[in-house]
Amino acid sequence: MSLEAVAKKAGVSTATVSRVLNGLTVVKGSTRARVMKAVAELKYHPNLHARSLAGGRSRTVGVIVSNLDNPFFLDIYRAVESDCHAQGYEVVVANTAYTAEQLASSVRLMLGRRVAGLAVIVSEVDEEVVAELSEANIPVVFYDVGRAGKNITKIRVNYRKGVERIVEYLTSLGHSDFAFITHHAALGPLNERQNALYDSLKIASPKATVRVVVDSDSLDGGRQAARELLRSAPVPTAIMCVNDLMAVGVLKELRERRIRVPEDVSVTGFDNIKLSEFCHPALTTVHIPRDLIGHTLFHSLTPDASGSAAAGREYVIDPEFVVRDSTGPARSSDVFAR
Amino acid sequence: MSLEAVAKKAGVSTATVSRVLNGLTVVKGSTRARVMKAVAELKYHPNLHARSLAGGRSRTVGVIVSNLDNPFFLDIYRAVESDCHAQGYEVVVANTAYTAEQLASSVRLMLGRRVAGLAVIVSEVDEEVVAELSEANIPVVFYDVGRAGKNITKIRVNYRKGVERIVEYLTSLGHSDFAFITHHAALGPLNERQNALYDSLKIASPKATVRVVVDSDSLDGGRQAARELLRSAPVPTAIMCVNDLMAVGVLKELRERRIRVPEDVSVTGFDNIKLSEFCHPALTTVHIPRDLIGHTLFHSLTPDASGSAAAGREYVIDPEFVVRDSTGPARSSDVFAR
DNA sequence: TTGAAAGCGCTACCAG
DNA sequence: CTGGTAGCGCTTTCAA
C-alpha cells in the first residue's frame, strides 16, 4: 500500500509512479499503463499526509463557522465546497458553537493541517485570532469580523441597509412597538444589527420602543425568546428576529398561543434561508446571498489563473429585502392589553 | 515554524520538543517550560501531516453522508463529532449528494487521509465500495447498507417497524387511500421503507391503494412531489413521506392549496428532525435516535478502554412512533371528487 | 523518458 | 530525563 509497492509491481521507480499519479505527461504511454494497472490491482491509495508533507502544499481549504445547524452557514459551506471540488480542492469544516475557545482550537487545527486557505465565518472572533491569522502565511478571509490586510480578505454584509429596509417597511405600516430577538448579543457582528435597528428607528420613528430578548441560535432559542417576550405585557406589534431560524421558532410559539401573524403581530427574519419560504406564514426577511459569499470566499482563498490569490480586498455585499406574508399593518387597538 | 526551530530556540533537541508537545510526562518541569515558551513565541503549529505520517495513525474519523442539507444527517454528524472531540479525535465529513461517484471518490479521499475509522451513512452504496472497505485495514461502519464483517460494523434501523406503526395508526383512523412520497426510489434502503409499506398495508387494509411519487430529498422536492400528486384526482386521504424534510415541503403545498391538514388529508414524516415540531401542523412521525446512532458509530470506530475497536457487530435500532397534529380521521366523503 | 536520492516535519526507539 | 537518528510515504531536483 505504498508507492514503493506499486513501483515494484510495475517494475519502475517510485519517481515514475509518482509522475503517473500526478498526471505528468512526460511518462511513456506503455509505462503509464503498467503503473495504472499495478495501482488498480493493489487498490493503492496515496497517503495524503505524505503527499502534502513532501509537496509542501495542500489543496485543502479550511472553513470555520459558528453554527452548522443554522442553514445559513451550511449554505455558505456548500457553495465553497462546490467551487472547491470543481477546481480539485478539498474542504474541511469546523464548527465553533460560538465559543472563542473552539474557534482558537479550530484555527490551530487548520493551520496544523497546512490548509491552502482559511475562511472564518464566525461572530466570535477576538483580536488574538485575528493577529495570529494575519501572520499566517496563507490567504485568509474573514466574514463580518477582522479587517483586510496583506493576506486577509474581508467580506461583510451591509446589515445596516437590511435593517433599515425592514424598519422603513414596518414603520410605514404603523408599527412603533418593537421587539428584537437575537442571540449572543455581546458579539460584535450581531451587535451591529441591533445598533442599526436603534439608529434607523431613531430616524424613522423616534418615539418607537424596542424590547430585546436574547436566546440561543436555534429553533428552540427563538421559541424560548418569544415565550420570554410574551411573559410580560405589552405584546409588541412587530417582532424582528436576528435571523430566520430564530424567527421560525418565534412563529411556532405565537401559533400555539393563537396569536395571529401578521394580523396580531408582524414577524421578520434575516438571511432568507430556504425554510423561510416553507414556514407558515412565509417570512418577510432580508436575503443574504450565500452563493455569492461562497464564491467570493473561494476566489479570495485560491490562486486564480494568473497565479495569485486575490487576497487583501474588502468586499461589501448588499442584502435584499424580501416581503412575504409574516408582516402587515400594526393592529390598531391593543387587543392584548391587560 | 518547524520542530527544529523550536528546539533550537529552546536549546533542546527535537525529540524533547516532541515529548513536550505530546504531553509525555517524563520531561523535567523547567525544560518543559522553556519549550512551551519557545512554542508560544514562535507561534508554532505542529504539522499534522508530518505527525500522522511519522506516527502512522491519525486520530481522525471520517464520516460520509448522503445529504448534509437534511438535518437527519447533520444530527448524526454532530453526535459523532461531539463524541470525537471529547476523546481527542477530529472528524472530517464528506457529502455524496446521493451519487455513487461522489461516494467512491469520498471513500478514496478518506482512505488517503488514513482515517482511524470511517462511517458511511449513505443510501447509495454499491458492492464495489463495500468490498473495497472490507479490505481496508480500519474499522468501518455502514448505516443501513452493507453487512457486518471482520472490520465492518453495521447499524440499521428497523424501518419496517416504524412503517407498520404508521400504517396501523392510519388505517385505524379509516384511511385506505394513500400516497407515498419518497426520493431515490431505486436505492435499497429507501426501497425497504416502501416495501414495508406495501407489506403492512396488505395486512392492515388489503384493499388500500397507494400512489408513489418521487422527487428530490429537500423541502422543494417534497413540495414538487405534492404538486405532482395533486395534479390528478383522487386526492389521497393520507400522504406518507419518506422523511420529515420532504413532509414539510408537502405541508407547504397543501396549505397553499387550502387543503387542510389533518382535516382533509393526513401527512406523516419520518426521522423526527427538530423541524417536525416547528412546522405547522406539527408532524406525526417516527423518531430515529440520531444521538444513539452517533454514539454507536463512534464506539464502533474507535478503540475502547480495553484497546480494541468493537467492530464486526450488527446493531439494530428501533424507531419510535410519535403522534402529533398532522394526522386525523380519514375524511368521509370525497370533497375533492371532480 | 526514467531512476536515484535528498528531504518535507515529525515520532519513536535506542543510548547515555 | 535528554539527545541522536532512522524512518513514515511522497515529491522533486539532478543525472543518466
Chain centroid to CA B298 = 13
B108-111 long-range contacts (CB < 8 A, ≥24 apart) are: B108/A45, B109/A48, B109/A90, B110/B62, B110/B64, B111/A45, B111/B136
What are the phi and psi torsion angles at A321 (to 5°)?
-75, 135
* Probe site for chain B from A22, A89, A278 (most B CB atoms < 10 A): A278
pLDDT of residue A125: 84
A134/A150 Cα distance (integer angstroms):
8
Give the C-alpha separation, A17 to B153, whole Å: 34
Chain D nucleotides close to protein (CB under 7 A) are 1-13
Neighbours of B234 (CB within 10 A): 12
Residues B236 and B301 in one domain: no
Is residue A52 a part of any domain in this protein? no
* Nucleotide nearest B4 (Cα, C1'): C9
Judgement on whether residues A234 and A260 belong to the same structural domain of the protein? yes
What pLDDT is recorded for position A338?
Answer: 46
Return the pLDDT at A226.
98
Q: Is residue A53 part of a domain?
A: no
Is the domain of B196 the same as that of B152? no
Find the closest chain B residue to A107 by CA distance: B45
Chain A 17-56 contacts with nucleic strand C (CB below 7 A): 19, 26-28, 30-32, 50, 53-54, 56
The confidence score (pLDDT) of residue A311 equals 66
Q: Is the pLDDT higher at B135 or at A335?
A: B135
Task: Tell me the whole-structure pTM to 2 decimals.
Answer: 0.94
Domain around A181: 159-288+322-337
Distances (CA, A) of B155 to A113, A228, B117, B128: 31, 41, 15, 19
- Rounded to the nearest angstrom, the gap between the alpha carbon of residue B27 and the centroid of all alpha carbons in its chain is 44
CA of A199 vs chain B CAs: smallest distance (Å): 33
pLDDT in tens, A272-302: 999 999 999 999 999 999 999 999 999 999 9
Q: Do A137 and A36 fall into the same domain? A: no
Express as a percent the part of chain A with pLDDT over 70. 96
Report yes or no on B52 lying in a domain: no
In this structure, the number of other CB atoms found within 10 A of the CB of residue B301 comes to: 27
pLDDT at A337 over 60: no
Question: According to the model, what pLDDT value does residue B333 have?
Answer: 61
Q: Which nucleotide is nearest to B54 (CA to C1')?
A: D8
Rounded Cα gap, residues A109 and A132, in angstroms = 13
Judge: B50–A47 Cβ closer than 8 Å, yes or no. Answer: no
What gap in Å lies between CA A187 and CA B40, rounded to an integer? 27
Answer yes or no: is pLDDT of A115 > 80.
yes
Protein CA at A315 to nucleotide C1' at C10, angstroms: 39
Q: In terms of domains, do A119 and A143 share one?
A: yes
Is A268 within 8 Å of A170 (Cβ atoms)? yes
pLDDT at B154: 95
Over range A79-99, report the average pLDDT. 95
Q: Do A224 and A132 share a structural domain?
A: no
Q: How far is B331 from chain A (nearest CA, A)?
A: 24
- Give the burial class of B8: count Cβ atoms within 10 A of its Cβ; 0-12 exposed, 13-18 middle, 19 or more buried: middle
Same domain, A311 and A329: no
Shared domain for A299 and A231, answered yes or no, is no
- Rounded to the nearest angstrom, the minimum Cα separation between B200 and chain A is 32
Does nucleic acid strand C have an atom less than 7 angstroms from the CB of B21? yes
Cross-chain residue pair A47–B58, CB shorter than 8 Å: no
**Partner-chain residue, chosen from A45, A92, A278, that has the shortest CB–CB distance to B249:** A278
Cis omega (within 30 of 0) for bond into A262: yes
CA separation (Å) from A196 to A143, A157, A179, A247, B67? Answer: 18, 13, 14, 19, 37
pLDDT tens, chain B, 338 aa long: 899 999 999 999 999 999 999 988 878 888 999 999 999 999 999 999 999 999 988 899 999 999 999 999 999 999 999 999 999 899 999 999 999 999 999 999 999 999 999 999 998 888 889 988 998 889 999 998 888 888 999 999 999 999 999 999 999 999 999 999 999 977 777 788 888 899 999 999 899 999 999 999 999 999 999 999 999 989 999 999 999 999 999 999 999 999 999 999 999 999 999 999 999 999 999 999 999 999 999 999 988 755 555 667 899 999 999 999 999 999 876 666 54
- The pLDDT, as a whole number, for residue A133 is 92
Express each pLDDT in B191-242 by its tens digit: 888 888 999 999 998 999 999 999 999 999 999 999 999 999 899 999 999 9
Q: Do B248 and A278 touch (CB under 8 A)?
A: yes
| B28 Cβ within 7 A of any nucleic strand D atom | yes
Read off the pLDDT of residues A223-278 as tens digits, 9 standing for 90 and up.
999 999 999 989 999 999 999 999 999 999 999 999 999 999 999 999 999 999 99
Residues A174, A240 within the same domain: yes
A211 located within any domain = yes
Q: Which of B47, B112, B280 is the closest to A255 by Cβ?
A: B280
B53 and A47 in contact by Cβ < 8 A? yes
Give the three-state DSSP class for A200.
helix
Distance, angstroms, CA A54 to C1' C6? Answer: 11
Q: Looking at beta carbons, which residues of chain A come within 8 Å of B112?
A: 45-48, 51
Q: Which nucleotide is the nearest neighbour of B27, by CA and C1'?
A: D1
pLDDT at A150: 87
Is A200 contained in some domain? yes
**Count of domains in chain B?**
3
User: Residue B17 is part of a domain; what is its CATH number?
Assistant: 1.10.260.40
Average pLDDT over residues A116-136: 90
Q: Identify whether A234 is preceded by a cis peptide bond (ω within 30 of 0).
A: yes
* Angle B156-B159-B163 from CA coordinates, rounded to 5°: 175
By three-state DSSP, how is residue B242 classified? Answer: coil
Show which positions of strand C are touched by protein (CB under 7 A). 1-5, 7-13
Q: What are phi and psi of A262, to 5 degrees?
A: -100, 5
Query: Residue B53 falls within a domain, yes or no?
Result: no
> Are A136 and A206 within one domain?
no
CA of B72 to C1' of D14 (A): 55
Nearest residue, CA→C1' of D2: B16
Least CB–CB distance from B252: residue in A93, A223, A278: A278
- Nearest residue to B115 via CA among B62, B39, B50, B180: B62
User: Which among B50, B111, B279 has the least Cβ separation from residue A53?
Assistant: B50
d(CA B240, CA A151) in angstroms, rounded, equals 52
Instruction: Return the exposure string of A159-169: e unless at least 16 CB atoms fall within 10 Å of the residue's CB, then b.
Output: bbbbbbbbbeb
Nearest to A283 by CA among A251, A319, A315: A251
Report the CATH number that the domain containing residue B184 is assigned in CATH: 3.40.50.2300
Q: Is residue B51 part of a domain?
A: no
Q: Is residue A51 part of a domain?
A: no
Q: Is the CB of B149 under 7 A from strand C?
A: no
What is the structure's pLDDT at B193? 83
Average the pLDDT over each of A178-187, A214-223, A256-265 and give the range with the smallest value: A178-187
The answer to whether B209 CB sits below 7 Å from nucleic acid chain C is no
Of the two residues B105 and A146, the one the predictor is more confident about is: B105
Shared domain for A326 and A203, answered yes or no, is yes
Identify the pLDDT of residue B310. 66
Q: Which residues of A make CB contacts under 8 Å with B?
A: 43, 45-53, 58, 68-69, 71, 74, 78, 81, 90, 92-93, 95, 108-109, 111-114, 132, 135, 218-220, 223, 248-249, 251-252, 255, 274-275, 277-280
Residue B332: count of CB within 10 angstroms of its CB = 8
Residue A174: its pLDDT value, please?
95
Whether nucleic acid strand D comes within 7 Å of the CB of B58, the answer is no
Verify that A272 and A233 share a domain, yes or no.
yes
